[in-house]
Amino acid sequence: MQKVKFIDLGIIDYKKAWSFQEKLFQEIIDVKRANRKLNSSSAPINKTESKLIFCEHPHVFTLGKSGQQKHLLINEEQLNLKGAKFYKINRGGDITYHGPGQLVGYPIFDLDNFFTDIHKYLRYLEESVILTIKEYGLYGGRIKGSTGVWLDWDNPRARKICALGVRSSRWVTMHGFAFNVNTDLDYFSNIIPCGISDKTVTSIEKELGGRIPIQEVQKKMKHHLSNLFEMELI
């Protein structure tokens, strides 16, 4: 069973968390590059160390490399009035929102130690959310061609409760999921979330009509991620 270090960053500025991700990501890449050189010698191969980061962010909109800036519906002055920031980043996907009450997960995983299948990786992240919300009596599913977790995914009332956007290189992952727990959903009206204009977003709080302690949701997510990826969080 893989041992993975769990890191809780609490509420942290998006740019600081991004830089921290990049540092951990690059450390694993550097080990793997060094190991390639060792393959032709008798020297022992160094192990890579995967990490799982949980955090929340102050109000921020992020645009993935395949997204369109026109999906941000407000200008810089309006961003400032809302106390929000905007970043173009190096994950896949379009535009999304992060803010207080949203559980953000950044797995910095070396998939060589799990399985080398990025689609399976994404499905496991989705499944961990589906299993977590099921504990609250909510039933999530997937929409073909739209990564993430949805409620009422098979009818016109479909609404997204968790968005995914990842980057991978040499089977090392970064970025991850944004799971709406007690999120202020009004901020999503300032964007076309994930470039999808005909569906809405939701949260556990909205669906249940009351706030849920985010630490409680974190605990459930850690449990389901550990089981799915057959890992031990340390």
Query: At 114, is the pLDDT very low, low, confident or very high (cuts 50, 70, 90)?
Result: very high
**Tell me, what's the pLDDT at 41?**
59
For helices 118-134 and 214-229, give the axis angle rounded to 10 degrees: 140
Q: Which residues pair with 160 in a beta bridge?
A: 150, 201
**Tell me, what's the pLDDT at 191?**
85
pTM recorded for the entire structure: 0.94
Calculate what percentage of the chain has a pLDDT beyond 70. Answer: 95
Catalytic residue among 194, 201, 217, 225: 194
Rounded to whole angstroms, how far apart are CA atoms 29 and 183?
34
Single out the residue of 98, 6, 101, 8 nearest to residue 55, CA to CA: 8
194 is catalytic: yes
Q: Which residues pair with 180 in a beta bridge?
A: 102
Strand pairing of 2-11 and 60-63?
unpaired
- Domains, the chain: 2-233 (3.30.930.10)
* pLDDT tens for each residue of 44-100: 678 999 999 999 999 999 998 878 888 989 888 998 998 999 999 888 788 899 999
In degrees, rounded to 5, the angle at the alpha carbon of residue 10 between the alpha carbons of residues 102 and 17 is: 85
Single out the residue of 122, 161, 124, 168 nearest to residue 145, CA to CA: 122
Strand pairing of 159-169 and 172-180?
antiparallel
Query: At 162, is the pLDDT very low, low, confident or very high (cuts 50, 70, 90)?
Result: very high
